[in-house]
A = this chain, B = another copy of it.
C-alpha cells in the first residue's frame, strides 16, 4: 500500500488535496458564527447562566434590537452552539455545552496530531 500517504504532506498543495480529520473539524460555519462580538456576548451569557433562557431575557444582556438578538440566536443554533425549545409563547435557548467542548477538544487533538507528525513518522493521517 501507499506508504507515502501515511507521512505528512510535503507541500501545502498536496496537503490541500489530502483529506484529514482537520478538514471536518475546521468548520467555517461554527467559526463564522463565533466571529461576531454580539453573538459571542449572547453565547457567553447563555454559558454563564447554564440554563434555558427566553429570548426577551437574553436580549437584556446587550443593547441591540430584539429582532437582532433573535437572528443571532438562530445563527448560533445553525452553527450548533445553542439549542432552542418552544414552550407556549416563549422560546428558550440554551448553550450546547457538550457539543461546543467536544468540537473544541477534537480540533485541538487533530492539530496536536499534525504537530507531532514528522516525515519519518508512520501512521500519519493529517
Q: Spell out A's residues near B (CB within 8 Å).
A: 8-13, 15-16, 18, 20, 22-23, 26, 28, 31-37, 40-50, 53, 57-58, 60-62, 95, 97-98, 100-101, 104-105, 107-108, 111-112, 114-115, 117-118, 126
> Are B53 and A12 interface neighbours, CB within 8 A?
yes
Closest to A105 in B: B108
A16 touching B41 in the complex, CB below 8 Å, given contacts A11-B60, A48-B9:
yes
A97 touching B115 in the complex, CB below 8 Å, given contacts A13-B61, A35-B28:
yes
CB distance from A17 to the nearest CB of B (A): 8
The complex places the Cα of A48 from the Cα of B12 at a distance, in Å, of 8
